[in-house]
Amino acid sequence: MQKSHVKSLVISGASSGIGLALAQHYLQQGATIAAMARRADLLEALFRQFPQQVHIYPLDVRDLTAIQAAAHDFINKVGVPDIVIANAGVSRGTLTEYAEDIHAFQQVMDINVMGIAKTFQPFIAPMKAAGKGTLVGISSVAGFRGLPGSEAYSASKAAAISYLESLRVELRHTDIKVVTLCPGYIRTPMTDVNTYPMPFIIDADDAAQRFAKVIEKQKSFAVVPWQMGLVGKLLKLLPNWLYDLAFSKAPHKPRNI
């Protein structure tokens, strides 16, 4: 197997789905990782598989103090990471008409948007000082247009795209690169609950390999798989009247997960 030159990285949401697949991809190539997520038992299982290479940090990405402590510990033990991947995210249907969904809306925004900023924050100054680093944010094609029934999720992913662009331009004159990754449909526990057709869906392991290639090339923005990139471009071109007509009957993500 070809060894990657990535020596160390931080991955949030490493307990499941895309984050776990990314962790396993880089671990198999010999990298050392900081694995962050709330479910400690799943992180411990990863640690048992790769005890020499995994540092686990059971935490919630809404907790800046916990992330700062984890970053401090990892940098002390391993050094400034080559890559930080802010992947943790949640998806659930929300409808503004229901009061209880407003709380869910807040949670989605806190995790999917603020969680990215909080994950990056403690690494930026050390990366600047080290003269290296790549910050990767996981957004979604769902952020390209507002999907019905996914008011919070679409808003959070659109906000993530804009946030990551602001950060990329802000850091342009430093040695830190910012990569925005927009997955289409990837087979994970997040999509396992969907009962509607998911075009061009790919497995998480396949997705992880494709993401790693994008990160290696330090592309500023990429959609994976590429077919969903074309779909996304088309969606952006549609005038509102046509988009509204086409999507008014689109299937909704369940509200209660």
Q: Does 143 bind ligand NAP (CB under 6 A)?
A: no
Stretch that binds ligand NAP, among 11-19, 46-54, 65-73, 126-134 (CB under 6 A): 11-19
Considering Cα of 126, then 129, then 130, then 134, what sign does the dihedral take?
positive
Consecutive H or E run containing 37: strand 32-37
CB of 217 to ligand NAP, least distance (A): 20
Q: Give the C-alpha separation, 103 to 75, whole Å.
A: 35
Pattern 58-97, ligand NAP, x by CB under 6 A: --xxx------------------------xxxxx------
Q: Does 140 bind ligand NAP (CB under 6 A)?
A: yes
CB of 243 to ligand NAP, least distance (A): 19
> CA 216, 218, 223 angle in degrees (round to 5)?
95
159 CB contacts (<8 Å, ≥6 apart)?
A: 109, 112, 113, 143
For ligand NAP, how many residues bind (rule: CB under 6 A)?
29
- Concerning whether 26 is annotated as a catalytic residue, the answer is no
Q: Give the C-alpha separation, 17 to 173, whole Å.
A: 34
Q: Does 180 bind ligand NAP (CB under 6 A)?
A: no
Q: Which residues of 23-34 are buried (b: 16+ CB within 10 A; e: fewer)?
A: bbbbbeeebbbb
Q: Does 145 bind ligand NAP (CB under 6 A)?
A: no
> CA 201, 179, 153 angle in degrees (round to 5)?
55
- Residue from 153, 163, 196, 243 carrying the catalytic annotation: 153
CB of 65 to ligand NAP, least distance (A): 14
Residues serving a catalytic function are 153
Per CB under 6 A, residues contacting ligand NAP are: 12-13, 15-19, 37-39, 42, 60-62, 87-91, 111, 138, 140, 183, 185-186, 188-191
